[in-house]
Amino acid sequence: MDVEKTMEFILEQLAQVATLQAKAEERQAKAQEQQAKLEVLQRRTDERLTRAIRLAVWEARQERKKRQELDDYITKLSAAQLVTEEKLDDAITKLSAAQLITEEKLQRFLEWRGGNGKV
Decide if 110 contacts 116 (C-beta within 8 A): yes
In a domain, 21, yes or no: yes
- Determine, yes or no, domain membership for 51: yes
- Report yes or no on 100 lying in a domain: no
103: left (phi over 0), alpha (psi -120 to 50) or beta: alpha
Domain range enclosing 18: 1-86
Alpha carbons within 13 A on the beta-carbon side of 23: 6
The answer to whether 119 touches 113, Cβ cutoff 8 Å, is yes
Q: Is residue 38 part of a domain?
A: yes
The pLDDT of residue 1 is 64
Q: Are 110 and 117 in contact (CB under 8 A)?
A: yes
Q: Which helix or strand (DSSP H or E) is residue 1 part of?
A: none
Task: Flag whether pLDDT at 70 surpasses 80.
Answer: yes
Residue 39 lies in a domain: yes
Residue 91 in any domain: the answer is no
Predicted TM-score of the model (pTM): 0.53
Scanning the chain, the segments in alpha helix (DSSP H) are 2-112
Is 59 inside any structural domain?
A: yes
- Confidence grade of residue 116 (pLDDT, cut at 50, 70, 90): low
Q: How many domains does the chain divide into?
A: 1
- Domain presence at residue 25: yes
Computed over every residue of the chain, the mean pLDDT equals: 93
